[in-house]
Amino acid sequence: MHQLLQIPQAVRINSLFTAFEMHAAPEFVFRGESHDFYELVVVLSGSVGVTAGSDSFILHEGSAILHPPMEFHSLHAALGSSPTVRIFTFCATSVPVYHKRIFSLSPKTREASEQILTLLKSAAEWQGIHLIGAAEGRERQLVEAARLMEILLLRLDEIKKAPEAVYETTGARNYAHALSVLESNLTRSLDTAELAALCHMSSSLLKKTFSKYAGMGVMEYFRTQKVLAAIPMLRGGQSVAETALHFGFSDAGYFSTVFRRITGHTPGYYRNR
């Protein structure tokens, strides 16, 4: 009897959320965010500055980055260019383990991303950049687009990775330092002036730094990181009131309001999952 060849479980796209191509002005800054699904950013032309967690990069034409779930990230036009990017967000299982998550795209991979977007434009019902369902009679094409995305993700692991172009500017160093300070103080109730003092920066410089690299204010970023850090505690069974107090929120109701604004869900949603 012949032994069957066992095929390892490949990446599986479970849901597609958004897909779009965008041409940005030189002064463009995309507001930082984090979400519980993957995001693939493909740079078609120009250069973009990318913040991924505590790291900052400049990606050039033909590069891409994959943001994993719950990673805070933002992007902005860089080096005076007017970049064009193609972005896909999706939920997936068994995604390959990438070391840097920064890729140099081959012509075939770049064409594949264009083919996926073209298929989705004709096979899906849209609400802005959001996919909300299959167009009538186009279910098979929608499945084909998902399978092409799976192939694209598998190929990313096989192509030459772009060098990690980390910013070495004073601003980037200030940002990285400020992130470490904020992370070390997530359980405290601090205002902008107090955070600036801990970072050894003026309040105006701290605000300017976060506006550039995070695409949002320092206090909003601080609250976002508190909420992200609270999710594992809630999943572990901690009560909403206890979790709120742990992260410096004296009012559980206000914590729940902030939590829902940032994640789109109530704290109870994560506590019950």
pLDDT digits (tens, 9 = 90+) for 55-74: 778 889 998 999 999 888 98
Distance CA 224, CA 262 (A): 7
Q: Which amino acid is at 137?
A: G
CB 155 within 8 A of CB 115: no
pLDDT value, residue 83 = 95
Summarised one tens digit per residue, pLDDT across range 69-102 is: 988 898 889 888 999 999 999 999 888 877 778 8
Q: Which of 161, 149, 120, 169 is nearest to 19 (CA)?
A: 120
The residue behind tokens 């279910």 is 139
- Give the tokens for residue 109: 């991979």
The residue ranges of DSSP E strands in the chain, in sequence order, are 12-23, 29-33, 38-45, 47-52, 55-60, 63-67, 73-77, 84-93, 102-104, 124-127, 130-134
Helix H, strand E, coil C: the string for 170-193 is HHHHHHHHHHHHHHHCCCCCCCHH
pLDDT in tens, 250-273: 889 999 999 998 888 899 888 876
Nearest to 171 by CA among 197, 146, 207, 139: 207
Return the pLDDT at 219: 94
> CA 144: distance to chain centroid?
25
Low-confidence ranges of the chain (pLDDT < 50): 162, 164
- The structure tokens 């933002």 sit at 74
Distances in whole angstroms, Cα of residue 61 to Cα of each of 114, 140, 273: 15, 32, 40
Q: Which amino acid is at 62?
A: G
Predicted TM-score of the model (pTM)? 0.80
Cα 165 to Cα 97: distance, rounded to the nearest angstrom = 20
User: Token pair 């980037």 is at which residue?
Assistant: 172
Give the per-residue pLDDT at 254.
94
pLDDT number for residue 96? 82
DSSP type of residue 216: S
Long-range CB contacts for residues 164-170, cutoff 8 Å, separation at least 24:
164/57, 164/100, 164/102, 165/57, 165/58, 165/59, 166/55, 166/56, 166/57, 167/49, 167/56, 167/57, 167/58
**What is the pLDDT at residue 2?**
66
